[in-house]
C-alpha cells in the first residue's frame, strides 16, 4: 500500500495531535485514515484534511472509532446539511441516522452498484457509514471510481454520452421496501433528471452518473437503445482495476463521495447479522460543464 501524511490543523490546547496518516488501499480509489478520533471535541480541526483525502481518494476509512450516534451526526455535520431518508421511522430519536440491519430474518439487499439518493433533486454529497455489528466473515463493501469508469470509455462513446440526460426514480427500489405505490412516493419525490456525465463540483472531473438502483432510462432514446446503453455504462463498474474492497470491523467508519463513486454491499453473510448506521450529507444539483 502507498502511504502519505496530511497535516491537520493543531487543535487548540492539544499539542499531542500531529498529522493524520492517509494510506491508499489501491492506486485507483480508497484510503485508510489514522491518527484521528471522529468523536473528539476538536474534530473540526481535522475536517479540511479529511475533506482533501475524500476528494483525492473518493472514499476514506477509519478504524476503531468508538463513537456515539450523536458524535456520528456531529462529525457528518461538519461537511454540510444532513438529509433525512424516507425509510427512517418517524419516531426514531435521531432521524438523521438510517439504520441498515440484516440477519436471519432479512437477507442483505444492497448488493448492486449504486450511488445514494440520486432520486433527489440535489443528491447526496457523501455518506458516512458506521459498523455497529458485523458478521465473522463476509459483508464487505466494494467501491468504484466513476471518473475512471468514464475515462475508460472510448473517446467516441465519451462524446456520445456527454450531454445526455437520465431519469432517476425512487420507486425503483423503495416502492417495494416501503410498501408504497410509486405514485404516492412521487408526490414527495418526483423522478429527477440528471446528466449522464456530471462535473464534480469540487474537483471539476467528469464522472458517469447513472446507476442500476435508481436510473430508469435515458431521455430521447428508445427503450431498447436506453436499456442497451445503460447496461453498457453500468458494466464499467465491474472493472476490478478501478475498485477497492473494504472489510468491516466493529467501529469501522467509511465516508464516500457519492458524486464520484459507487458502492456495492456484498450480501454473502446470510444468516449472520450485519448492522450499520448511515448519515448522509446533502449535495448540490448535478450539472455538466465542458472543459
List the catalytic residues: 114, 116, 263, 278
DSSP structure string for 131-192? EEE--SS---EEEEEHHHHHHTS-HHHHHHHTT-EEEE-THHHHHHHTT--HHHHHHHS--E
Torsion of CA 23, 27, 30, 32, to 10 degrees: -10
CB 163 within 8 A of CB 195: yes
State the cell numbers at 222: 428508445
Specify burial of residue 55 (Cβ count, 10 A radius: 0-12, 13-18, 19+): middle
> Beta partners for 144?
243, 262
Task: Label residue 41 exposed, middle or buried (CB < 10 Å: 0-12, 13-18, 19+).
Answer: exposed
Amino acid at each position: 500500500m502507498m502511504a502519505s501524511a496530511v497535516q491537520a490543523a493543531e487543535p487548540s490546547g492539544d499539542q499531542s495531535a500531529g498529522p493524520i496518516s492517509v494510506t491508499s488501499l489501491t492506486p485507483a480509489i480508497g484510503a485508510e485514515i489514522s491518527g484521528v478520533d471522529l468523536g473528539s471535541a476538536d474534530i473540526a480541526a481535522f475536517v479540511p484534511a479529511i475533506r482533501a483525502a475524500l476528494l483525492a481518494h473518493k472514499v476514506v476509512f477509519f478504524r476503531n472509532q468508538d463513537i456515539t450516534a450523536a458524535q456520528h451526526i456531529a462529525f457528518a455535520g461538519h461537511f454540510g446539511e444532513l438529509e433525512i431518508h424516507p425509510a427512517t421511522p418517524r419516531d426514531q430519536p435521531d432521524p438523521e441516522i438510517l439504520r441498515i440491519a440484516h440477519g436471519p430474518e432479512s437477507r442483505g439487499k444492497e448488493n448492486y452498484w449504486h450511488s445514494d439518493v440520486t432520486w433527489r433533486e440535489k443528491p447526496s454529497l457523501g455518506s458516512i457509514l458506521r459498523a455497529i455489528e458485523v458478521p465473522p466473515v463476509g459483508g464487505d463493501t466494494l467501491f468504484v471510481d466513476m471518473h475512471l469508469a468514464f475515462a475508460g470509455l472510448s473517446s467516441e462513446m465519451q462524446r456520445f454520452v456527454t450531454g445526455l440526460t437520465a431519469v432517476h426514480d425512487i420507486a425503483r427500489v423503495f416502492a417495494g421496501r416501503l410498501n408504497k405505490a410509486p405514485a404516492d412516493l412521487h408526490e414527495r419525490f418526483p423522478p429527477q433528471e440528471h446528466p449522464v456525465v456530471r462535473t464534480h463540483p469540487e474537483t471539476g472531473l467528469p464522472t458517469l452518473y447513472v446507476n442500476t438502483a435508481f436510473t430508469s432510462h435515458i431521455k430521447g432514446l428508445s427503450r431498447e437503445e436506453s436499456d442497451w446503453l445503460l447496461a453498457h455504462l453500468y458494466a464499467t463498474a465491474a472493472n476490478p482495476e478501478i475498485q477497492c474492497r473494504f472489510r468491516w470491523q466493529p467501529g469501522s467508519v467509511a465516508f464516500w463521495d457519492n458524486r464520484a463513486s459507487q458502492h456495492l454491499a456484498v450480501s454473502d453473510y446470510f444468516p449472520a447479522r450485519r448492522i450499520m448506521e448511515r448519515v448522509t450529507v446533502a449535495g448540490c444539483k448535478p450539472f455538466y460543464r465542458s472543459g
